[in-house]
Structure 1
Amino acid sequence: MIAGSTPLAGRPMIFSTFIQTHVDAIVADWETFARTLPSARTMSALALRDHSREILLTIAHEMDMPLSRQERASQAETIVPSVGSATSAAAEHGALRQLAGFDLVQLFAEFRAMRASVMAFWHRTEGVSAELTSIDNIIRFNEGIDKALAESVERYSSEVAASRDMFLAVLGHDLRGPLAGIDMSAMMLAKATLSDAARQQSAARIRRASKEMSRLITDLLEYTRTRLGAGIPVERILCDLGPVCEDALEAIRAGYPDQQFVQRMSGDLTAFADAPRMQQVLANLLNNAVQHGDRQSAVTVTADGELNEVVLKVANTGEPIPPESLFAIFEPLVQAPNADSQDHVLSKTSLGLGLFIVREIVLGHAGTIEVHSSADAGTVFTIRLPREAATSA
């Protein structure tokens, strides 16, 4: 018997009323399943539950609405949701699941689990007479689930299309900048009267533009590799992560000579790791900290050798990331807004692949990465890498 329920002593409980009465218990049961999905492992309970409660209550409300057979048949035949349904709880659920990295199979699995949870609770409840489990009750509930699923999938698909279009637009924007620099430098170098100093400046500009394009192409290739299921290759050998931190800092200092950096290292920093990949991780985190942090404050890098793991942290001060936005920060093509923004905004100067690649490399080391952000402590990314190669992904 469900906690809080009482036998109805012959008084039949309407199916829609049952859903409204036990909605919190049903959502908790459904959350247990949703937690098993790959994209949900790092999500908070609030983000995971999302609009599930509102979806169930909407279905229960619609079950109570009197509809003729013709109206119900017409509703069942409508594949494309109405314009007004684009802002429904189910539609918003689809949009947020796309943002969190769920695929359509996982989205379908959520709704299938929701249907199963409701039916299981219904049949386990004491005091419900058999006549109440009528075909009409079940049909009306299934119609509500199917309608919610259609709205969620439609919104999910539209978000995927919008992300693809934005991806291409930002890619064109990112490539145009370094290409313009190379073109301008080439015209300068063609001048016979060009001074040696100007020639060196033009050559340096070409090198910077080439490195920027190379970084962009590398990010694209690794993003594509992960989407094809191959993952980012990681070759772990015994190495010292101290020099890795120093090399990453040296590289970022060259790009941001006016930014202040603080480095702290302690303990034994040897571990089985892919040194070039970990330098890439730190470079991406440092670049992110400079771009989104307070330029007047230092970016801090710490490396601590603990008993069974090495802990790396990159911290910056500035506007905190809202708690409800942290679950999406490692997903590609999204940039978590600051406290003054309400929407997830794609960076206009970056494809937003840096943190996504960071997460994939850390997972390839069988490690973990977390982010905490507040007005007092700033934004801190924490990586924990196991020392031993036996603890491999």
Structure 2
Amino acid sequence: MRLPVFIRENTDRIIADWETFARTISTDNSPLTSLRLRDHIMAILAFIADDIDSFQSKTEQVEKSRGEKPHSLNTTAAEVHASSRHDDGYDMDQMVSEYRALRASIVKLWLAQKTGPSDTDVTDLTRFHEAIDQSLTESIRGYTVKLDAARNLFLGILGHDIRNPLGAISMSAQVMLRLGPSGEREKMMLNQIRDSTERANEIVTNLLDLMRSRLGTGLPISRTSIDVGSMGKKIVDEMRSMHPHRQFDIKLQGDLAGDWDQPRLEQVLSNLLSNAVQYGFTGTPITVGIAGLSDRIEMSVHNSGAPIPKEAASRIFDALTRVQVGETGEHNADTQNLGLGLYITKQIIVAHGGTISVTSDETGTVFTTILPRHAPVIPT
């Protein structure tokens, strides 16, 4: 009996055999009913049988073997199955294991009823494995979409809900500071509240920026005419007030006017300076250089500190990456950040059409940013 015919005529046997394995998978949710457990398996089996029977050219065969079959515009049964498994508490490995079990059940039952080999067996088995792999690919894609949506929803809720209480705490601390605390201890505690809420707000901002960049649309940029020199002085002054025992130098050169998103560039410089404070040797200066050239500006931040290992420099702008560089500066590098600052910094620079790079050796570490003076002209 041909394999596609066997699948159609023995669907109930195949599903019953497969369900025995599926029931061994445990999740944090309640055990699934038989109907819920089987959900879209019948439709997936129908797809497999039809796929084996369908005509396939040599080119299509090669494309499918490489996983390059065009993605259907319609949602497939395998994608819906994956979405249901995500909602039922299955992880990716458990969902994939279902396909391994389904593959084994079909082959085992089919071979058990055969009396001898036939000329079509190899072709049927080849097409069968291709069809199973195609369904598995679609399920993984569907599961990933569901996982991304859940993560983005979580980040969105986090960013929306946590900012209100943070704002209230920060405002209360600032009002009390203006009214004047009764003693130095109270003043120190209020300053700590203010600094901690600013830090928490920075974390939320970075998480939301990470979410936006992972959606593939890039970070939103709102360009206005600004002077980067004035912006640089403002951020350096803020860093001096936050770290009064550290030395910050800024050198400005040339025409520093252009069209950029000022809050975003302030975020870039603040991130780079915070990184320099964290990893630079205490007692050594941190230098900011901003130079205006004919069509661009170059902004650099230099600190003296332990060199970044070469193998780490290539991934320093990746999300959730924290580089170990031995001795650190003011803070403990393991606990002060989520590893998002440099990733977000690069995304902002890229959104402006610029580049950012890092060099690091015994003389210190320098982050260099190049920004086009104006937005690139997009051909119509």
TM-score, normalised by the number of residues in structure 1: 0.48
TM-score, normalised by the number of residues in structure 2: 0.50
